[in-house]
Amino acid sequence: MKIGILGSGRMGGNLGTLFARLGHDVTFSYSRSTQRLDQLAQNAGAGARAATPSEAVTDADVILLAVHWTQVEHVLGQSGTLAGKVVISCCNPLNAEDTELVIGHTISGAETLAARLPDAHIVAAFQATPSEVMFDVFAARDSALRPSLIFCGDDAASKTIAADLISAIGFDPVDVGALRIARYIEPFAMLSGVLAYETDQGPEWAYRFARFDRLFGLSSSSR
């Protein structure tokens, strides 16, 4: 697939690099430094390049939106139309200081983005897992027990694409339903942030959701 990265910071840079290593054509865009974009593309290997947001979007099958919430409008203003595109958003609607959600309770950041881009197919994913753990998960992707990664969206085909990418990186994709469920994922991401950045244990955190009966091979007759 051709994947355009809008936002090449830690999350966009790490995920884009992993997508490239899986054999996808990846275009990195939107960084404060063109030198960083060039370096990302070089480090990611064959099939990766640096470009402008509009160039990243034009031929892409999938867009990864990985900017700070305060930069969403700015990057979308440079991207051109995203009509018909699968847009995987890992944006949490945080204030400039990353201390509070600025949207919640009655609507989510993901739903707000969908209203802003009515002709795109929004899938909310990756926002509750720290970027620093991505390479470790990828390295352990052949392990029997994988960390979970929750995602949601309203378009079934787009969610299938997102689930395939999530699984290829090394996570167990957990479809939690319609895009409105992002109202619960985004606050959960705040908890992930607390564990990653407000403890002395480091940011390499992941999580796992599992049915107890499936995890331990229990049947209904054994309960």
pLDDT tens digits, 66-121: 999 999 999 999 999 999 999 999 999 999 999 999 998 899 999 999 999 999 99
Q: Would 222 be classed as within a structural domain?
A: no
pLDDT of residue 188: 96
Q: How many domains does the chain have?
A: 1
Locate 137 and state its tokens: 């998960």
**pLDDT confidence tier of residue 223, bands split at 50, 70 and 90:** low
Pairing of strands 148-153, 121-125: antiparallel
Q: Would 48 be classed as within a structural domain?
A: yes
- Residue 152's nearest CA partner among 120, 126, 187, 118 is 126
Which residue segment(s) compose the domain that 138 sits in? 2-216
Q: Would 73 be classed as within a structural domain?
A: yes
pLDDT of residue 212: 80
Per the listing, tokens 């063109």 go with 34
Alpha-carbon distance values, 79 to 24, 72, 75, 82 (Å): 20, 11, 6, 8
25-34 pLDDT per residue, tens: 999 999 988 9
What pTM does this model have?
A: 0.94
Q: Would 223 be classed as within a structural domain?
A: no
CATH number for the domain harbouring residue 183: 3.40.50.720
**pLDDT confidence tier of residue 147, bands split at 50, 70 and 90:** very high
Q: Would 59 be classed as within a structural domain?
A: yes
Q: Would 157 be classed as within a structural domain?
A: yes
As a whole number of angstroms, the distance between CA 128 and CA 196 comes to 11
- Hey, is 96 helix, strand or coil? coil
Q: Would 104 be classed as within a structural domain?
A: yes
Q: Would 119 be classed as within a structural domain?
A: yes
**pLDDT confidence tier of residue 52, bands split at 50, 70 and 90:** very high
Q: Is the pLDDT of residue 48 over 60?
A: yes
Q: Is the pLDDT of residue 138 over 90?
A: yes
Q: Is the pLDDT of residue 219 over 80?
A: no
